[in-house]
Homo-oligomer: A and B are copies of this chain.
Amino acid sequence: MIVVMKSGATEEQIKEVENKLHELGFRTQVIHGTDKRVIGAIGDKRHLNLRFIELLPGVERAIPILRPFKLASREARPENTIVNIDGVTIGGPEITVIAGPCAVESREQLLETARAIKSMGCKILRGGAFKPRTSPYSFQGLEEEGLRLLAEAKEDTGLKIVTEVLDAQDVELVSSYTDIMQVGARNMQNFKLLKALGRLGKPVVLKRGLSATVEEWLMAAEYIMVEGNPNVILCERGIRTFEPYTRNTLDLSAVALVKQLSHLPVIVDPSHGTGRRDLVSPMAKAAVVAGADGLLIEAHIRPDEALSDGAQSLDMEGLARVLSELEDVARVAGRTFTGTGALNRRVPSS
């Protein structure tokens, strides 16, 4: 930590700050600038909250030098983490596509969707059973019945499944049905939930909070990892800005940045990220080129009947169109994807 003293700080004030730092276990070294004194505090005390140093008389501000995340940092682990879900990987050379409806609505809807997305090269089925909704008057999800339908779709298609868990209390229940636990944007700093998922050990898709900095997002991952679970998949899903034409502002530069700061895999949700069906295709492809390891795409067999977020859902034809271009896009990004496009081309022309 670097402590910057005010211009007129006295020798006594500098001494007092040094004494306080020594008490806390730091060594100190003073730099005499032209205008100000700066105290270097030497020692790794990332677990201390040091903002109160700024209260000591004569102190202007305290600047941390060490980044607060450790386990999630690339310094801790230079090579990429590859999360393995019974053979399906996220973070390896292949682009992994997760697709499905915002909410599980019925058996027929889910099975039909699952079979369709499977045939297009998707490996994982998404679907919300517990839905976090801004309004208490909106459809809140089928709850355990939704989980059962997801498990049935898995059984039927062999797809892995991912679904959101809203609360530490539900971790056991949700976990008994799903392969991957999803933490929604509103819960990114629900620390009880993060800890519970850390203890659980199952892979976690951790969505970025609406206005979370990249550092806070990585610290949320750190909460899960410090409990012993290294299988964290970060998911960029749009941040809140001043722009009213889109629901959120999908932040692809965060993807490129996180790939540098951390070894964890990052996927992108262009559906929530924009809230507009017509932007899903360009942003999905751009995400892969920016470095994303996978995509989370909302797709519904009949979007205009969706009980939740229909406006951003692709129909099956729309999804097929996106995926048919993904093989080429993945290759440009030095990755692979084997979906519809590839299948089509293998069809004999005779």
Interface residues, chain A, CB within 8 Å of chain B?
Answer: 2, 4, 7, 20, 29, 31-36, 38, 40, 42-44, 46-49, 51-52, 54-56, 63, 65-66, 68, 75, 132-140, 166-170, 186-187, 189-193, 195, 210-211, 213-216, 219, 222-223, 226, 239-246, 249-257, 259-261, 273-274, 276-279, 282-283, 285-291, 303-312, 325, 328-329, 332-333
Contact = CB atoms under 8 A, between A and B. Distances in A.
Contacts of A4: 65
A19 to B, nearest CB: 12
Given A49-B309, A213-B244, A214-B243, A189 B257 contact: no
Given A187-B190, A253-B273, A256-B282, A211 B211 contact: yes
Given A257-B246, A289-B329, A291-B282, A49 B136 contact: no
A2 B2 CA distance: 9
Nearest to A215: B245
Contact of A135 (B46, B63, B140, B240): B46
Contact of A55 (B38, B44, B190, B310): B310
Contact of A43 (B34, B239, B250, B332): B34
Contacts of A42: 31-34
Contact of A279 (B186, B189, B213, B256): B256
Contacts of A289: 282, 285-286, 288-289, 329
Contacts of A133: 49, 191
Contacts of A253: 246, 249-250, 273-274, 279, 283
Contacts of A68: 134-135, 137
Q: Most chain-B CB neighbours within 10 Å: which of A134, A166, A286?
A: A286
A303 B52 contact: yes
B139 A49 contact: yes
Contacts of A210: 210-211
A169 B55 CA distance: 36
Contact of A303 (B55, B166, B240, B254): B55
A167 B192 contact: yes
Q: What 4 A-B pairs are tightest by C-beta distance, nearest first?
A: A52-B310, A211-B211, A47-B137, A51-B311
Contacts of A51: 309-312
A55 B282 CA distance: 18
A215 B285 CA distance: 25
Given A211-B211, A279-B256, A2 B34 contact: no
A332 B284 CA distance: 13
